[in-house]
A and B are shown apart, each in its own frame.
Chain A
C-alpha cells in the first residue's frame, strides 16, 4: 500500500508541492515559536544557570532574579552558617543608569560576580576573556548592545559613566542579552559593588556551593528561619524566574498562540490535499476493498501519505527553522533548537498531519465495497 499511496500522492505534482510547502511553513513556524519560547526561558534565567550553585539566598519576597534587593553584610554569615556550606559567592544584580555621550540615560543591569573555577562568567565572549575583568573598574558589554550604549568605534577601551563612577570596557560578550532588555554590564564583584553603591560585604544574592547537594533541604530550612532572608534551591529559583517572565508577561501565551495558528493553517492545507487525493481514488480504493483489502490496509493509503508529508514537510521546515535561527541571532533573538524543542516540534508536526488525515480516514472507512458496482 505504501507504493500505491505515495505514487498517488506524487501523481499530482501541484498538489504535492503545495502540501509540502504548507507543512514546511507550518513546521518552521512551530519550530521557531517553540524555539523562541525556549530562548525566552533561557535568557530569562541565564544568570542563574551560569552562576550555578546549589542554593541561592535572597531577601524575603524576591520572586524573580532581576528584582533582588541588597542584603546586609551580616547575611553572609547566616547563609554560610550551615556546616554543609562549602563556599559562599556574592552576586550583584542591580539596575543602574548609564550616561551616554549625548547626556541621555540608559538603564543597564550590572552583573557582579565572584570568579569561580567551576563557573565561567561571562559565559560567551566575543572579544577578550573573563580574566580581563580582574582589574578594578573594568566591565564587559555585549556586542549587540554597543550601538544602544552609544559606544563609537572599538568598544574595547571605551569609557562608560555609570552612576557617579567611570568604568572602562575590557571585554565584549557574545549575544548575552537580558530578558528585561536592559543591557548587561558584567563586572567582578568589587567593581559591581561600587557601581551599585553597596558596602564591602554586601550583595544581592549569596550563592551557596554545598559539600553535598542532598543537604540543600536542610540549608534552605536553616536560612528560612531568618525573618528577612529566604533560600531557594537553584532549580526552583530558575523555574520561578522563568515563570515570572515568560508566563507572567504573556510572552509564552503569545508564542503558543502563534504556534497554534501555524498548526491550524497546516492542518487545513494538509487536510485539503489528503482529502482531495482520497476522493479522487475512491473507486480504486473501493476496488481494493472489494478484492479483499482490510479496513486497516485501506486506511494505510491515507496514513502513508500523511506520514510522507510530515516527514518531508517537517524536515524542510526544520531546515528552514535553523536558517531562521541564524537570521534571528543578528536581530538579537535567541531561538533554541535543542533536543527537547525539536522533539516537541516534531511531535506537533506529526500530530498536525494525523489530525489533517482524519477527514480522509473517515471517508475511506465509510467507503462501501459495493460502490464498485454502482
Chain B
C-alpha cells in the first residue's frame, strides 16, 4: 500500500466576513500518495491555488483537516507547521523565484543551509542536484544568464536538493515553450518514486500525459477525477 503524503478531509475555506464572506473551498477531500504525480486543474477562481496553499500549510482552513507527511498540520502551531514544511516539502513556481544576485549553485546551497545542512554538504548536494537536472555546466551562472527552461530546472533542483517527500508546483510550465515544458515535466516525472510524490497546479493540458491522476476542481469542489496519461486513476 502506497504511503499517503498529503490528505485533506472536508476542507472548507472562506475569505471575508459578513456580507463580504466568500466561500472558496466547499468540503474538499483529496490525497496524494508517494509514487504518483497528480495534477490539480480548474478554471481561474475555482479554488485550486487556495487548496494547494492549505495542503502546503501556508494557509489555515476554515474547517476540515490536513494531514501532511504524518502530521495533522491543521492542528499544529505555525512554528511546527514550518518545521514540517522544512523537512518534507519542496516547491516549484511559475516565476522560478530565484534570487537574481546568486548563482544557480548558491540559490540552492543557501536554501539547504537554511534547512540546517553544513556549508560544504549543502554545496555538494546543490552541485549534484543541478547536475541531475542537466545544469552541471551552469553552476556559477546567475538567473539573468539562464533561459526560462534553465531557470525552471534550477528551481526544480532547489526543490529536489532537500530530498523532500512531496513536491508542490504552481504553473511550472506556464512561462515555457512546448519543447521546454515537456522537458521540465520529464525531469519532474523522473523524480517520482516509491518515497516521493508530486502535486502540480496547472492549466496546461500538455501535462496530463505525465500525470497519474488529474483532479478537476470547480467552484470550490472536486468536479472530476480522471486518470492521467501515466496512470490508471484512483479515488480523489
Contacts and interface: CB of A to CB of B under 8 A. Distances in A.
Q: Do A and B originate from a single complex?
A: yes
Interface of A: 1, 3-4, 7-8, 10-11, 281, 283-284, 286-288, 290-294, 297, 368-370, 372-374
Interface stretch (B88-96, B146-154, B227-235): B88-96
Given A7-B101, A8-B101, A292 B114 contact: yes
Interface residues of B, number: 31
A291 B89 contact: yes
B91 A291 contact: yes
Residue with the greatest number of chain A CB neighbours at <10 A, chosen from B58, B93, B101, B162: B101
B170 to A, nearest CB: 5
Interface of B: 49, 52-53, 56, 58-59, 79, 82-83, 85-87, 89-91, 93, 95, 97-102, 106, 110-111, 114-115, 162, 170, 201
Contacts of A372: 58, 91, 93, 97, 170
A368 B87 CA distance: 19
A342 to B, nearest CB: 33
Contacts of B115: 291-292
5 contacts: A284-B98, A286-B97, A290-B91, A291-B91, A372-B58
A11 B170 contact: no
Contacts of B53: 370, 373
Given A284-B97, A294-B82, A369 B58 contact: yes
A272 B88 CA distance: 37
A115 to B, nearest CB: 67
B58 A281 contact: no
Given A1-B114, A372-B170, A373-B52, A287 B101 contact: no
A294 B59 contact: no
B99 to A, nearest CB: 5
Contact of A291 (B86, B95, B101): B86
Nearest to B79: A294
Contact of A287 (B52, B79, B93, B102): B93
Contacts of B99: 4, 7-8, 281, 284
Contacts of A7: 99, 101-102, 106
A284 B98 CA distance: 6
Contacts of B162: 291
B58 to A, nearest CB: 4
Given A7-B101, A291-B114, A292-B115, A283 B95 contact: yes
Nearest to A371: B58
Contacts of B110: 1, 3-4
